């Protein structure tokens, strides 16, 4: 049979070709398995933070490097790892898919869909750990980020690029403030990332439902690492969420990121550290817990043109116990951030929502970004409320009060009532300004709670029907001129008179 010429040519080519380069692959083995961690041997060249492949789609992160062993944090269920199993190096650090295609999706800490939809194709990968922009790549915080909450926007203003801590005991409304702030970004161009760390599934579903009902689903990425998942996923979740926020901000966009909450994140890190026998420090937390949160929150800020020109505003949440602000993790985060919104259980018991304690809350940089008209109205807000609370304490003793003291008590009660706001109802800035000005000028004095709420709604309706003059005043940054103050007060008086709440103030 004659030989095929093509086959001979192919054979000659194969024989004359250089031999393939040998491919080296390091393979180790599992020595010990714990709850969310594994001890691996045989990978002498592995690097810190490198991802290891345990097979079956399970990955781990090199956490501890020792001469004869590696401490590895597992990013998945421990049950699939057994002693003696092979472990391979990947040569990569943990990276997550990023990009605008993730907006409107619910993903886990590794960027995998959790909402039942297909994973977006061809998304770029970004390491979850990156160096924070330097000082020369940053710009001053000079633009307000409206939360839609009167108590915050008036007295504890937040600026774009700020890191403002939300702190308080359980069930004081911390998540509600964060969700309402996300909802208030509708039609503002601000993109949002909500990172739920160690939360129950029903709590995350409730938050996702609120975001969807509020019309912000298409502008928000939800990153979730539930309390039923591996602690390693809770540990990497905020870094993954920050990487997604950085990718959005790189296009000169403004991004709001919420970490709910960093108490659970600290607990996950402590759990992993103790399992890997790292030396415990204060309250059994490892010594680098401050750095764990500092290097995360330092990546937020207002960036200059050389760093993309966008901004990342961070609202980390932390939980206190029995109002103990001096606990380890709260004090760490207070020192890292640019201020805190403190929610008091005492105000919750008085049915004051949002329960923002203006005596303890502070914004160290947001005041420079606050609109001048807002500053002119809310400048005496803290003093008015603090004096009212002192007088209220004395009035409880039943002492006889003079007319001036009674007027100050009535004014303080009206101002406190004006700061009340229902959940999931963020308020536009012009309506906030009119309501607060009316309360500070005494138009709501003497009204009971129900009448005060009806009066404020009447003022809001009047502002909505009066055109854009107040909104333009706030946007322009101009101070509140006497004619502007008179116009708003006349509008409020007319609205109150039409609603049957006329006043001679």
pLDDT digits (tens, 9 = 90+) for 299-355: 999 999 988 899 999 999 999 999 999 999 999 999 999 999 999 999 999 999 999
Q: Which residues contact 177 (CB under 8 A, 6 or more apart)?
A: 147, 149, 152, 166, 341, 343, 354, 356
C-alpha span between 356 and 22 (Å, rounded): 65
What would the pLDDT profile of 360-411 be if each residue is shown by its tens digit? 999 999 889 999 999 999 888 988 898 888 888 877 776 677 888 888 889 9
For domain 376-498, say whether CATH 1.20.1250.20 is its number.
no
Q: What is the pLDDT of residue 18?
A: 80
Question: 34 burial class (0-12, 13-18, 19+ CB within 10 angstroms)?
Answer: middle
Is 171 annotated to bind a ligand? Reply is yes
78 labeled binding residue = no
- Nearest to 60, CA basis, from 78, 41, 84, 79: 78
Q: Write out the catalytic residue numbers.
A: 364
Over residues 156-166, the mean pLDDT reads 97
Nearest to 195 by CA among 342, 289, 113, 315: 315
Any binding-site annotation on 170? yes
Taking 50 as the threshold, does the pLDDT of residue 36 lie above it?
A: yes
Q: Establish whether 174 is an annotated binding residue.
A: yes
pTM for this one? Answer: 0.92
Span 85-136, pLDDT tens digits: 999 999 999 999 999 999 999 999 999 999 988 988 899 999 999 999 999 9
User: Within 86-227, where are the H helices?
Assistant: 150-155, 174-183, 201-213
Tokens of 188: 């503002």
Under 8 Å CB-to-CB from 402, ≥6 apart: which residues? none
* Phi, psi dihedrals of residue 196, rounded to the nearest 5°: -95, 120
DSSP 111-127: S-B-SSSPPPTTPPEEE
Indicate if the pLDDT at residue 224 is higher than 90. yes
Please report where in the chains the tokens 């005043």 appear, as a residue: 473
Three-state secondary-structure class, residue 316: strand
- Per-residue pLDDT, 22: 73
| pLDDT, position 1 | 46
d(CA 168, CA 360): 11
Task: Kindly report, residue by residue over 311-327, the tens digit of the pLDDT.
Answer: 999 999 999 999 999 99
35 labeled part of a ligand binding site: no
Q: Are domains 97-369 and 376-498 of this chain identical in fold? A: no
In which band, very low, low, confident or very high, does the pLDDT at 502 lie, cut at 50, 70 and 90?
low
Superfamily of domain 97-369: P-loop containing nucleotide triphosphate hydrolases (3.40.50.300)
pLDDT of residue 400: 75
CA pair distance 46, 397, nearest whole angstrom: 70
Percent of the chain with pLDDT over 90: 79
Residue-wise pLDDT tens digits, 163-216: 999 999 999 999 999 999 999 999 999 999 999 999 999 999 999 999 999 999
Match domain 27-93 to its CATH number in 3.10.450.50, 2.40.30.20, 3.30.2130.10, 3.40.50.280.
Answer: 2.40.30.20
pLDDT at position 69, please? 93
What confidence category does residue 456 fall into, taking pLDDT thresholds of 50, 70 and 90? very high
Q: What does the alpha-carbon distance between residue 402 and residue 421 come to, in Å, rounded to a whole number? A: 31
Each domain of the chain, given as residue ranges in start order, spans 27-93, 97-369, 376-498
């Amino acid at each position: 049979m004659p030989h095929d010429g093509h086959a001979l040519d192919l054979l000659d080519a194969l024989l004359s070709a250089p031999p393939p380069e040998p491919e080296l692959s390091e393979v180790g083995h599992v020595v010990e398995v714990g709850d969310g961690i594994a001890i691996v041997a045989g990978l002498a060249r592995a690097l810190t933070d490198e991802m290891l492949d345990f097979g079956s789609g399970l990955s781990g992160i090199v956490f501890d490097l020792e001469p004869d062993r590696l401490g590895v944090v597992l990013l998945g269920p421990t049950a699939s790892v057994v002693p003696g199993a092979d472990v391979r190096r990947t040569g990569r650090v943990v990276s997550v898919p990023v990009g605008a295609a993730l907006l409107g999706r619910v993903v886990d800490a590794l960027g995998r869909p959790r909402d039942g939809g297909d994973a977006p194709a061809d998304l770029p990968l970004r390491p979850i750990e990156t160096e924070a922009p330097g000082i020369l790549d940053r710009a001053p915080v000079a633009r307000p980020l409206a939360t839609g909450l009167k108590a915050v926007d008036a007295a504890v203003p937040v600026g774009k690029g700020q890191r403002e801590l939300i702190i308080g005991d359980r069930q004081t409304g911390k998540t509600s403030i964060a969700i309402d702030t996300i909802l208030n970004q509708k039609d503002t161009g601000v993109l949002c990332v909500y990172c739920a760390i160690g939360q129950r599934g029903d709590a995350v579903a409730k938050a996702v439902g609120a975001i969807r009902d509020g019309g912000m689903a298409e502008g928000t990425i939800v990153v979730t690492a539930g309390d039923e998942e591996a602690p390693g996923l809770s540990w990497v979740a905020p870094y993954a969420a920050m990487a997604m926020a950085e990718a959005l901000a790189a296009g000169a966009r403004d991004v709001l990121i919420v970490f709910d909450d960093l108490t659970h994140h600290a607990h996950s890190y402590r759990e992993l550290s103790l399992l890997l026998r790292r030396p415990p420090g204060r309250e059994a937390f490892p010594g680098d817990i401050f750095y764990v949160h500092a290097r995360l929150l330092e990546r937020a800020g207002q960036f200059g043109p050389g760093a993309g020109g966008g901004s990342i505003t961070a609202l980390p949440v932390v939980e206190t116990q029995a109002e103990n602000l001096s606990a380890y993790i709260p004090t760490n985060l207070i020192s890292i951030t640019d201020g805190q919104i403190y929610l008091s259980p005492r105000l919750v018991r008085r049915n004051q929502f949002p329960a923002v304690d203006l005596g303890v809350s502070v914004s160290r940089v947001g005041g420079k970004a606050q609109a001048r008209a807002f500053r002119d109205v809310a400048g005496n807000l803290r003093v008015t409320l603090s004096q009212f609370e002192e007088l209220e304490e004395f009035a409880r003793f039943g002492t006889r009060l003079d007319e001036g003291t009674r007027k100050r008590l009535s004014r303080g009660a009206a101002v406190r009532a004006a700061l009340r706001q229902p959940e999931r109802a963020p308020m536009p800035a012009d309506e906030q300004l009119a309501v607060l000005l009316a309360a500070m000028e005494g138009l709501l004095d003497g009204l009971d709670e129900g009448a005060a709420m009806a009066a404020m709604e009447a003022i809001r309706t009047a502002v909505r029907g009066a055109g854009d003059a107040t909104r333009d005043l706030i946007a322009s940054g101009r101070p509140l001129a006497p004619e502007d103050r008179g116009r708003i007060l006349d509008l409020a008086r007319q609205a109150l008179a039409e609603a049957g709440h006329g006043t001679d103030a």
